């Protein structure tokens, strides 16, 4: 969607201000949110792309003004409510008042090292050959879906070159809608910065994006 | 963080997070001890020292560098850095005339397995918006001005590939041990917003 998360090329946010000796977390609640979001992954009630969509579909002004872990908190709350795992009243009261819904698994402390090591690989076996080869020219499609996509606005309807074939990966656009993983070929596509941004870009600079085959068409 | 209005805002969010954790725990969806263990892992175990090890090995061992170029996932996993947000890796190599910079314009994709949790600036709108349209301006915010003839390639992490920049090995480090070299590899040099440290800053370590 054309939401607040799709920030590439926007202006007016001011300079990047790195913090000297930045702590891992700026408050205890940030650490708890990070830990809870990862732990809840084991419950299996949503996938990675549904989680991303819950974040990026926050109203743009709210998204852009929220500290990052607050975005995680708002999104995970939205998912928990949507799945019926918690109720608004429970969150206000701070205690459980309804029966839990059945979940896949509750992550125990003993399982944490194994779960973190396992991660969540998204490569899947392929039964097709990649349509494009390294060095080939491609043109990105022009889409503006209401749902989730990983083709940012600034790279739509642009011509680039296939730099590498990464593998056969879960397709986020369908996975976020709960319509299945529909894995497809993922490519590293390189664009001349001037083809994206015009004359203001440095003539020798490039921008690369990782794009799934459905985003791409052959170009002359 | 210390003015009053900000403090009360934080208290509100703290209360919400505490309520959420209580409800999730009572309903059996999470075990707070698991949350503790996750936090502790990222506070004490997984951080940029992992990535510095990878870079120093690539500087020291041409075979390892070639492997890292060909299959970064396997090359990094071989050093024991196997964890989430590092499942699919690619390394990009700075060299004469070529500089790499990594961003995630759409969210906060970052190679946790080798760099740990991302800094706030990496996840914030100023960096995410500008890295792709004005990378040289962003580098200038970090005090890094590249020679005019150096090309910049920005890698927008739009999928589950995670990027590690291998900075150029500083001159004057011939004969340094892998361990001493790793001491020159700061976190930002592996994102592309800095170069590796100069050996003069680490003369004693190099001499060891």
> Looking at beta carbons, which residues of chain A come within 8 Å of B39?
25, 31-32, 34-35
The yes-or-no verdict on residue B205 having pLDDT over 90 is no
Q: How is chain B split into domains, by residue range?
A: 12-207
Integer angstrom CA distances of residue A219 from A132, A139, A160: 11, 5, 9
| pLDDT for position A152 | 98
Q: Domain containing A67 — which CATH number? A: 1.10.472.20
CB contact under 8 A, B141 and A29: no
Q: Is B129's CB within 8 Å of A210's CB?
A: no
Among A154, A200, A204, whose Cβ lies nearest the Cβ of B132? A154
Spatial CA neighbour of A188 closest among A206, A172, A175: A206
Q: Are B19 and A91 in contact (CB under 8 A)?
A: yes
State the smallest CA–CA distance between residue B177 and chain A in angstroms: 27
Task: Assess if residue A132 is contained within a domain.
Answer: no
B12-207: CATH superfamily: Nitrile hydratase alpha /Thiocyanate hydrolase gamma (3.90.330.10)
pTM: 0.95
Q: Which domain holds residue A89?
A: 28-118
From the CB of residue B31, how many other CB atoms can be counted at a distance below 10 Å?
A: 20
Confidence of residue B91 (pLDDT cuts 50, 70, 90): very high
Instruction: Confirm whether A190 is domain-assigned.
Output: yes
Name the domain count of chain A.
2
Note which residues in 176-205 of chain A have CB less than 8 A from chain B.
186, 188, 190, 193, 196-197, 200-202, 204-205
Chains A and B: how many Cβ contacts under 8 Å? 263
pLDDT of B108 above 60: yes
What pLDDT score was predicted for residue A220? Answer: 77
pLDDT confidence of residue B4: 44
Q: Is the pLDDT at B207 greater than 50, yes or no?
A: no
The pLDDT score that the predictor gives to residue B148 is 86
Residue A72, in any domain of the structure: yes
Neighboring chain B residues of A22 at a CB cutoff of 8 Å: 119-120
Residues of chain A with pLDDT below 70 are none
In the prediction, which pLDDT does A54 show? 98
Give yes or no: residues A102 and A155 share one domain: no
Residues A33, A112, single domain; the answer is yes
Flag whether pLDDT at B94 surpasses 50. Answer: yes
Does A63 fall in a domain? yes
Shared-domain flag, residues A111 and A163:
no
What strands, in cross-sheet order, belong to the sheet with A159-169?
A: A216-218, A137-140, A159-169, A184-192, A206-212, B151-156, B98-103
Residue A45 inside a domain? The answer is: yes
Let me know if B108 is a catalytic residue. Answer: yes
Q: Name the residue among B22, B105, B138 with its Cβ closest to that of A16.
A: B138
**Do A102 and A182 fall within a single domain?**
no
B177 noted as active-site residue: no
Is B60 among the residues known to form the active site? no
d(CA B162, CA B85): 7
Residues A101, A160, single domain; the answer is no
């Amino acid at each position: 969607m054309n939401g607040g998360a799709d920030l590439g090329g926007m202006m007016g946010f001011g300079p990047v201000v790195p913090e000297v000796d930045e702590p891992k977390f700026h408050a205890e609640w940030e650490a708890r949110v990070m830990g809870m979001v990862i732990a809840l992954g084991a419950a299996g009630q949503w996938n990675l792309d549904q989680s991303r969509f819950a974040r990026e579909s926050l109203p743009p002004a709210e998204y852009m003004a929220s500290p990052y872990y607050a975005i995680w908190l708002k999104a995970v709350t939205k998912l928990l409510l949507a799945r019926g795992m918690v109720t608004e009243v429970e969150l206000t009261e701070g205690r459980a008042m309804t029966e839990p819904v059945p979940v896949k698994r509750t992550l125990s402390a003993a399982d944490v090292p194994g779960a973190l090591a396992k991660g969540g690989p998204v490569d899947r076996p392929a039964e097709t050959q990649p349509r494009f080869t390294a060095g080939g020219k491609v043109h990105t499609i022009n889409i503006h879906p209401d749902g989730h996509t990983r083709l940012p606005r600034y790279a739509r309807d642009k011509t680039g070159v296939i730099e590498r074939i990464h593998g056969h990966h879960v397709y986020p656009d369908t996975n976020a809608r709960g319509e299945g993983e529909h894995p497809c070929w993922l490519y590293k596509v390189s664009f001349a910065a001037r083809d994206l941004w015009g004359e203001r870009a440095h003539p020798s600079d490039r921008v690369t994006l990782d794009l799934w085959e459905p985003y791409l068409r052959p170009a002359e | 963080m210390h003015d009053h209005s900000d403090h009360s805002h934080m208290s509100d969010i703290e209360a919400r997070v505490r309520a959420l954790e209580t409800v999730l725990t009572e309903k059996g969806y999470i075990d707070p001890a698991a949350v503790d263990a996750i936090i502790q892992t990222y506070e004490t175990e997984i951080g940029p020292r992992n990535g510095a090890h990878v870079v120093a090995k690539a500087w020291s061992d041409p075979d390892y560098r070639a492997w890292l170029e060909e299959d970064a996932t396997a090359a990094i996993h071989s050093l024991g850095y196997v964890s989430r947000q590092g499942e699919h890796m690619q390394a990009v190599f700075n060299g004469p005339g070529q500089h790499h910079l990594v961003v995630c314009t759409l969210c906060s994709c970052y190679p946790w397995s080798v760099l740990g949790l991302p800094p706030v600036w990496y996840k914030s709108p100023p960096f995410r918006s500008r890295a792709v349209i004005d990378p040289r301006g962003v580098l200038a915010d970090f005090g890094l001005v590249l020679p005019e003839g150096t090309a910049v390639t920005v890698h927008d992490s739009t999928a589950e590939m995670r990027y590690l920049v291998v900075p150029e090995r500083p001159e004057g480090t011939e004969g340094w041990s892998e361990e001493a070299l790793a001491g020159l590899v700061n976190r930002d040099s592996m994102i592309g917003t800095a170069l590796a440290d100069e050996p003069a800053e680490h003369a004693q370590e190099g001499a060891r």
